[in-house]
Chains A and B, each alone.
Chain A
Amino acid sequence: MIPLHGIASREDLPLPFPLIVAAAAAVLIVTFWILLFAWREPRFRERQGREMPILTRFVDSPWFSRPLRLVVGVLWLLAAVALAFGPDRVDNPIFGFVFVWPWVGLVPLALLFGEVYRRTNPIRLLLRMTGATAPAPVPAATANTRSRLPAAAALLAFAWYELVEPSAATLPVLRGAAAAWLAWVIVGVFATSAKWIARADPFEAFASTLAKFSPWSRSASGRLLLINPLRNLASWRPPRHLWLLACVLLGSTLFDAIAGSAWWVRAFQDSSIPPRIVGTVGLIATVAVIAGLYLLSVLPLRRHGRTLTQVADELAPGLVPLVAGYFLAHYATMLYLEGQRTAIRMSDPLALGWDWFGIAEAGPNLALLGLPTLIAFAQVFFIVAGHVSAALVSHDIALRNVEPDAAMRRQMPLLVLMVLLTIVGMVLMFG
């Protein structure tokens, strides 16, 4: 029996093989060019860019932030209503709201506009009286670098729920999951402090991590900074256990591709082992293999006075572009199609025949899905661009604290791992 999926109704066509070969060749050449011929002195250590004082005043003013929070708050309220009182069918907007809008949609949102999620986080809105709202920007120097282990665990749980749990797209199960998420974050806030949200809310931790690869940052004085995304990422003082969080994200996306591949389906569809166990073992094994390979690959970059996991954290920003590239390549078309469908369903949250936004009649726009060549090129572009950015950021970080010639040798395993992940990722999209 083939497990029936809830929300994704369409799969992308396999990537054309010549395109994969060309992209893989480009990845190899560019990676080794970076290793051999790119800059020998770290150049992205400082957080600098163009300060935008007027934009800062606008973005930080209540005239902008209040309406923004109001709109986002109303959307979450609508979702909550659909979750509590809507019909238990796949056309309930809550499924698209959870699995498409925040999960997939926050990637382009964070990459284009930076820390939007943190400033509109519904849990922060709920907990306003405890001072949990994030009205003021955080200058880089005072950023919260405490362990992101709770968020990594929560993200793994979310990935398990989305990719493994067979009844994820049924209302009672989703209600339980939503309650668990709220309890995890809110109880944590009351037990510790409002800083728990940044460390433990899976969505915020995910969005904030990707926002570091956006062209937006804050200067020491708190002003908005238009910045080269590579510099933004490479100059980040990463929080502890960022490497684990990145490996969870990479591993779960990779597992999604593996579980959809023909050989996995053939191997397990008739097996007597329950699908929950197969999926759980598969997901955890994929994440563990990636985490293990990553630790091995940064082993040569270890230096006196630093533990292996500290070095793994220092280099973890280099994994973020890989995550971004994978996510966009795998889920951009799903965001396009199911994102529109979710908007349509959102205008009738209780399935009573309403059409608040007046968009139900027209149906989703499918123009982009009629251009398979464009989709294939865009997917490969996302993966290759993510890989090249990852290699450049890692190169810059690896040059610090190490002699240039030694750095070249020592960062080789990490770059080889990245090439491997990128090519495996593309081959999985081939078949």
Chain B
Amino acid sequence: MTFFARVLLPLVLILGLSGCSTAGSGEPTTIRLDITSSAPDEPREEAVELGSLVTLVVTSEVDGLVHVHGFEEKLDLVAGETAEATFKASMTGAFEVETHEPDAVWIKLVVS
């Protein structure tokens, strides 16, 4: 069936071409976040390089939980204290860093 040749060949070509882009390992990055009792209007955007080690340092006015979507990092917060988590930015995309009380997205983490 020439049909399969026609469909599969471009797919293979695309795979081959794109496979060339290498996953870089960037510098370690530290992102600081202050959680207040009032939510921000819009999340702050933080860009990091694919493969870099990201340390999230969070100080909070309130008790609660910070959740880094996608990487499934969860940080328990105690009012007045600082918490931190380190994870590898191992996939590209945009990920939200959010709290549930108050319900808010604080950071849009862009890994590229």
The proximity string for B residues 79-101 relative to A, scoring 1 for CB distances below 8 Å and 0 otherwise, is 00000000000111111101010
Which residues of B lie under 8 Å from residue A228 when comparing CB positions? 3
Please pick, from A1, A13, A369, the residue contacting B103 in the complex, using a CB distance under 8 A.
Answer: A1
Instruction: Assess whether B18 is in contact with A371, with CB atoms less than 8 Å apart.
Output: yes
Q: Which residue of A lies closest to B108 (CB)?
A: A11
Given contacts A228-B3, A370-B23, are A333 and B93 in contact (CB under 8 A)?
yes
Which residues of B lie under 8 Å from residue A373 when comparing CB positions? 17-18, 21
Shortest C-beta distance, B94 to chain A (Å), equals 4
**Which of A28-36, A118-126, A375-383 contacts the other chain?**
A375-383
Q: Which of A1, A266, A333, A371 has the most CB of B within 10 A?
A: A371
Please pick, from B41, B42, B69, the residue contacting A9 in the complex, using a CB distance under 8 A.
Answer: B69
Which residues of B lie under 8 Å from residue A403 when comparing CB positions? none
The proximity string for A residues 256-281 relative to B, scoring 1 for CB distances below 8 Å and 0 otherwise, is 00000000001001100000000000
Asked if A135 is at the interface (CB within 8 A of a chain B CB), the reply is no
Q: Which of B23, B91, B94 has the most CB of A within 10 A?
A: B91
**In the complex, which residues 3-42 of chain A have their Cβ closer than 8 Å to any Cβ of chain B?**
4, 9-13
Q: Which residue of A lies closest to B105 (CB)?
A: A2
Asked if A226 is at the interface (CB within 8 A of a chain B CB), the reply is yes
Q: Which residue of B lies closest to A262 (CB)?
A: B42
Instruction: Assess whether B92 is in contact with A374, with CB atoms less than 8 Å apart.
Output: no
Instruction: Assess whether B1 is in contact with A226, with CB atoms less than 8 Å apart.
Output: yes
Asked if B50 is at the interface (CB within 8 A of a chain A CB), the reply is yes
User: When chains A and B are docked, how far (Å) is the Cα of A10 from the Cα of B11?
Assistant: 25
Instruction: Assess whether B93 is in contact with A1, with CB atoms less than 8 Å apart.
Output: no
Asked if A131 is at the interface (CB within 8 A of a chain B CB), the reply is no
Asked if B5 is at the interface (CB within 8 A of a chain A CB), the reply is no
Which residues of A lie under 8 Å from residue B18 when comparing CB positions? 371, 373-374, 377-378
Q: Which residue of A lies closest to B95 (CB)?
A: A10
Asked if A53 is at the interface (CB within 8 A of a chain B CB), the reply is no
Asked if A352 is at the interface (CB within 8 A of a chain B CB), the reply is no
Instruction: Assess whether A1 is in contact with B39, with CB atoms less than 8 Å apart.
Output: yes
**In the complex, which residues 347-396 of chain A have their Cβ closer than 8 Å to any Cβ of chain B?**
366, 369-375, 377-378, 381
Instruction: Assess whether A13 is in contact with B69, with CB atoms less than 8 Å apart.
Output: no
Please pick, from A10, A215, A381, the residue contacting B91 in the complex, using a CB distance under 8 A.
Answer: A10
User: When chains A and B are docked, how far (Å) is the Cα of A378 from the Cα of B15?
Assistant: 8
Instruction: Assess whether B103 is in contact with A4, with CB atoms less than 8 Å apart.
Output: yes
Shortest C-beta distance, B35 to chain A (Å), equals 15
Please pick, from B3, B70, B72, B92, the residue contacting A370 in the complex, using a CB distance under 8 A.
Answer: B92
User: When chains A and B are docked, how far (Å) is the Cα of A50 from the Cα of B4?
Assistant: 13
User: When chains A and B are docked, how far (Å) is the Cα of A12 from the Cα of B91?
Assistant: 10
Which residues of B lie under 8 Å from residue A12 when comparing CB positions? 93-94
User: When chains A and B are docked, how far (Å) is the Cα of A381 from the Cα of B69?
Assistant: 28
Instruction: Assess whether B70 is in contact with A10, with CB atoms less than 8 Å apart.
Output: yes
Please pick, from B14, B95, B98, the residue contacting A4 in the complex, using a CB distance under 8 A.
Answer: B98
Instruction: Assess whether A377 is in contact with B91, with CB atoms less than 8 Å apart.
Output: no
User: When chains A and B are docked, how far (Å) is the Cα of A133 from the Cα of B92?
Assistant: 43
Which residues of A lie under 8 Å from residue B29 when comparing CB positions? none
The proximity string for A residues 88-113 relative to B, scoring 1 for CB distances below 8 Å and 0 otherwise, is 00000000000000000000000000
Please pick, from A50, A370, A381, the residue contacting B50 in the complex, using a CB distance under 8 A.
Answer: A370
Q: Which residue of B lies closest to A363 (CB)?
A: B72
Which residues of B lie under 8 Å from residue A266 when comparing CB positions? 42
Shortest C-beta distance, A197 to chain B (Å), equals 32
Which residues of B lie under 8 Å from residue A269 when comparing CB positions? 41
Given contacts A374-B15, A374-B21, A378-B14, are A366 and B94 in contact (CB under 8 A)?
no
User: When chains A and B are docked, how far (Å) is the Cα of A288 from the Cα of B43?
Assistant: 32
**In the complex, which residues 27-49 of chain B have their Cβ closer than 8 Å to any Cβ of chain A?**
39, 41-43
Shortest C-beta distance, B2 to chain A (Å), equals 10
Asked if B57 is at the interface (CB within 8 A of a chain A CB), the reply is no
User: When chains A and B are docked, how far (Å) is the Cα of A331 from the Cα of B43?
Assistant: 24
Instruction: Assess whether B92 is in contact with A270, with CB atoms less than 8 Å apart.
Output: no
Instruction: Assess whether A366 is in contact with B14, with CB atoms less than 8 Å apart.
Output: no
Asked if B62 is at the interface (CB within 8 A of a chain A CB), the reply is no
Q: Which residues of B contact A (CB under 8 A)?
A: 1, 3, 10-11, 14-15, 17-19, 21, 23, 39, 41-43, 50-51, 69-70, 72, 90-96, 98, 100, 103-105, 110, 112
Q: Which residues of A contact B (CB under 8 A)?
A: 1-2, 4, 9-13, 50, 215, 226, 228, 266, 269-270, 333, 337, 366, 369-375, 377-378, 381
Known interface pairs A4-B100, A371-B92, A372-B112; 4 further A-B residue pairs with C-beta atoms within 8 A, sorted by A's residue number: A9-B96, A10-B91, A378-B18, A381-B10
Q: Name 15 A/B residue pairs within 8 A (Cβ), A-sorted.
A: A4-B103, A9-B70, A9-B72, A10-B69, A10-B95, A12-B93, A13-B93, A333-B93, A366-B91, A369-B93, A373-B21, A374-B14, A374-B21, A377-B14, A381-B10
